[in-house]
């Protein structure tokens, strides 16, 4: 399979768009997919990454536009270049003029005695867990990690690292039956959890359809923050909460923190303050593992039993109640994408962007917006859910083709002053009639009080 073929994908064959519109309760004619526009998304891959990206962003824009009081029924079609830039935003991020390194030295593919594993060590505590699991000293180099892993089977490596809370998975082949079973479930679940009175969208306008909506953001990394960034872009008041003991990677917040307030709060130690925030929230977005949420009493059913007005949105790496840790790169490796998008079939590959994360984020934002509209019409508490693995199953079931050379294009960026640093990020790809075309600046991480 050559990387420069001009063989086009056939996006009209996947049926993704009509299914998503149906899951969100949007009219079938709300959005159409022009094949030429989808094929023009410069995200070259053997898999239909361009269609997945274009459709995810298009559906988010359609849902937001429908929430507007001035909806004219003609959503703006996503610009293919902006779509690609949004999905590869980390590559264009600049902090004081300097590019960032998206993956830390201990994140990547490694040979084992019987194959390959993929690790993730961007956060310091995950890198430490990886070294501990492999019985290496603090500060062990990538060469030392590689040397140890070559003596272990892939399963031995996974077991050793995960036993200490690290992230390491074998690079597996596709599992068609598992993927088909996942595709039989909604890509974005929107379901009613309980009853409450209808609650109108407070101040919908074309520019800010979600103005007056309050969102508690308990997410990290990419997918959840992309979802809440999209809600903030649509006018929602988003308050991100992080535990004081887990500092965020600064560039990740610069890349996805636009328009949000950001505060530090130990939920377990200061439950009274958290419950007061929750009482005034319309939406809570959960990105932590299900077992941790249950320990805190933040599982969806517990939340809506105490706060029947809530829209509860949950995002995870894996479907169901699987509590395993995971990131986009880990899911790609575990479900067969790394081999499906390999250049030569000998070395595992990766998608041209962290497309599972970004797609899950935009789809979650679309589902939350749809749930808010349903709450306004019929009342009730609502549950919105997707997972990176569910998105992966969708991508693996879409039509495939040879990667095409990505044409050069001008990347549209905007610049902010954030905490004394000059930050350059890409422009938003989600657009709707009458809506904004530029992000609001990120706030310094953890700089705000935990209050509305």
Which residues, in sequence order, are bridge partners of residue 312?
284, 383
pLDDT of residue 71: 54
pTM for the whole structure: 0.94
67, 373 Cβ separation under 8 angstroms: yes
Question: What's the CA gap between 279 and 307, in Å, rounded?
Answer: 7
Mark whether 195 and 50 lie in a shared domain.
Answer: yes
**Which CATH number goes with the domain that contains 55?**
3.40.50.10540
Instruction: Name the token pair of 251.
Output: 């560039």
Question: What's the CA gap between 6 and 261, in Å, rounded?
Answer: 45
Other CB atoms within a 10 A radius of the CB of residue 301 amount to 12
Residue 438 lies in a domain: no
Mark whether 287 and 212 lie in a shared domain.
Answer: yes
3 state SS of 234: coil
CA 398 to each of CA 11, 46, 88, 305, 391: distance values in angstroms, whole numbers, following the listed order: 8, 10, 21, 39, 11
170, 154 Cβ separation under 8 angstroms: yes
Residue with the bigger pLDDT between 240 and 8: it is: 240
Taking alpha carbons only, the member of 58, 54, 14 closest to residue 37 is: 54
Residue 432 lies in a domain: no
Residue 211 lies in a domain: yes
pLDDT of residue 73: 55
Question: What's the CA gap between 307 and 73, in Å, rounded?
Answer: 33
Residue 124 lies in a domain: yes
Question: What's the CA gap between 341 and 335, in Å, rounded?
Answer: 12
Query: Which band of pLDDT confidence, cut at 50, 70 and 90, is reported for residue 69?
Result: low
pLDDT of residue 5: 34
Query: Which band of pLDDT confidence, cut at 50, 70 and 90, is reported for residue 12?
Result: very low
Determine whether 194 is exposed, middle or buried from the number of CB atoms within 10 Å of its CB (0-12, 13-18, 19+): middle
Mark whether 381 and 278 lie in a shared domain.
Answer: yes
Instruction: Report the run of H or E that residue 116 belongs to, with start and end.
Output: strand 116-120
Residue 431 lies in a domain: no
187, 394 Cβ separation under 8 angstroms: yes
What would the mean pLDDT of 36-53 be, rounded to a whole number?
A: 89
Mark whether 400 and 356 lie in a shared domain.
Answer: yes
Instruction: Report the run of H or E that residue 238 belongs to, with start and end.
Output: strand 237-242
Mark whether 289 and 148 lie in a shared domain.
Answer: no
Question: What's the CA gap between 38 and 48, in Å, rounded?
Answer: 9
Could you give the number of structural domains in the chain? Answer: 2
Question: What's the CA gap between 192 and 375, in Å, rounded?
Answer: 9
Query: Which band of pLDDT confidence, cut at 50, 70 and 90, is reported for residue 8?
Result: very low
Mark whether 299 and 166 lie in a shared domain.
Answer: no
Mark whether 116 and 93 lie in a shared domain.
Answer: no
Domain that residue 149 falls in? 108-170
- Tokens 């949007």 sit at which residue? 26
Q: Which residues of 159-184 are buried (b: 16+ CB within 10 A; e: fewer)?
A: ebbbeeebbbbbbbeeeeeebeebbe
Mark whether 33 and 160 lie in a shared domain.
Answer: no
Question: What's the CA gap between 149 and 153, in Å, rounded?
Answer: 8
Which residues, in sequence order, are bridge partners of residue 218?
286
Residue 150 lies in a domain: yes
Residue 440 lies in a domain: no
Residue 25 lies in a domain: yes
Q: What number of CA atoms fall less than 13 Å from residue 265's CA on the CB side?
A: 24
Mark whether 158 and 138 lie in a shared domain.
Answer: yes
Mark whether 229 and 292 lie in a shared domain.
Answer: yes
Mark whether 94 and 195 lie in a shared domain.
Answer: yes
Rounded to the nearest 10 degrees, the angle between the axes of helix 124-133 and helix 154-162 is: 120
Mark whether 145 and 205 lie in a shared domain.
Answer: no
Residue with the bigger pLDDT between 404 and 115: it is: 115
Of 49-53, 245-249, 322-326, give the lowest mean pLDDT range.
Answer: 322-326
Taking alpha carbons only, the member of 122, 151, 125, 157 closest to residue 138 is: 125
Other CB atoms within a 10 A radius of the CB of residue 324 amount to 15
Domain boundary among 170, 200, 222: 170
pLDDT of residue 15: 87
Rounded to the nearest 10 degrees, the angle between the axes of helix 80-87 and helix 49-67 is: 100
How far does Cα 10 stand from its chain's mean position?
Answer: 25
Q: Is the pLDDT of residue 74 over 80?
A: no
Q: Is the pLDDT of residue 247 over 90?
A: no
pLDDT of residue 216: 98
Rounded to the nearest 10 degrees, the angle between the axes of helix 388-396 and helix 49-67 is: 120
């Amino acid at each position: 399979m050559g990387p420069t073929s001009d063989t086009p994908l056939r996006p009209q064959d996947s049926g993704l768009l009509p299914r998503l519109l149906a899951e969100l309760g949007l009219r079938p004619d709300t959005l159409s997919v022009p094949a030429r526009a989808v094929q023009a998304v410069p995200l070259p891959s053997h898999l239909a990454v361009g269609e997945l990206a274009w459709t995810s962003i298009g559906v988010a824009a359609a849902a937001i536009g429908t929430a507007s009081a001035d909806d004219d029924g003609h959503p703006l079609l996503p610009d293919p270049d902006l779509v690609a830039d949004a999905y590869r935003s980390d590559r264009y991020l600049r902090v004081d003029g300097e590019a960032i390194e998206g993956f830390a030295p201990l994140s990547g593919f490694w040979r084992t005695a019987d194959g390959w594993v993929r690790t993730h060590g961007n956060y310091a505590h995950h890198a430490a867990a990886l070294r501990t699991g492999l019985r290496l000293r603090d500060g062990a180099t990538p060469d030392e990690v590689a040397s140890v892993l070559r003596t272990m089977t892939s399963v031995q490596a996974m077991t050793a690292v995960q036993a200490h809370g690290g992230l390491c998975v074998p690079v597996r082949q596709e599992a068609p039956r598992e993927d088909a079973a996942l595709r039989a479930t909604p890509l974005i679940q929107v379901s009613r959890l309980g009853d409450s009175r209808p609650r109108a969208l407070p101040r919908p306008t074309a520019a800010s359809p979600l103005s007056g909506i309050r969102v508690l953001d308990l997410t990290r990394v990419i997918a959840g923050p992309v979802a809440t960034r999209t809600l903030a872009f649509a006018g929602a008041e988003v308050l991100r909460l992080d535990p004081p003991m887990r500092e965020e990677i600064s560039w990740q917040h610069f890349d996805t923190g636009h328009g949000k307030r950001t505060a530090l709060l130990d939920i377990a130690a200061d439950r009274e303050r958290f419950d007061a925030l929750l009482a005034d929230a319309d939406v809570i977005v959960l990105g932590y593992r299900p077992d941790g949420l249950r320990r805190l009493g933040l599982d969806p059913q517990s939340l809506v039993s105490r706060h029947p007005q809530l829209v509860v949105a949950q995002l995870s790496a894996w479907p169901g109640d699987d509590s395993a840790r995971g990131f986009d790169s880990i899911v790609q490796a575990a479900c067969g994408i790394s081999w499906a998008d390999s250049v030569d079939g000998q070395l595992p590959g990766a998608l041209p962007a962290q497309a599972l994360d970004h797609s899950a984020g935009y789809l979650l934002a679309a589902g939350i917006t749809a749930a808010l509209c349903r709450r306004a019409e019929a009342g009730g508490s609502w549950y919105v859910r997707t997972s990176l693995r569910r998105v992966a199953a969708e991508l693996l079931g879409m039509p495939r083709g040879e990667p095409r050379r990505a044409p050069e294009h001008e990347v549209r960026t905007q610049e902010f002053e954030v905490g004394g640093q000059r930050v350059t990020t890409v422009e938003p790809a989600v657009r709707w009639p009458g809506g904004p075309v530029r992000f609001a600046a990120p706030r310094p991480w953890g700089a705000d009080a935990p209050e509305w």
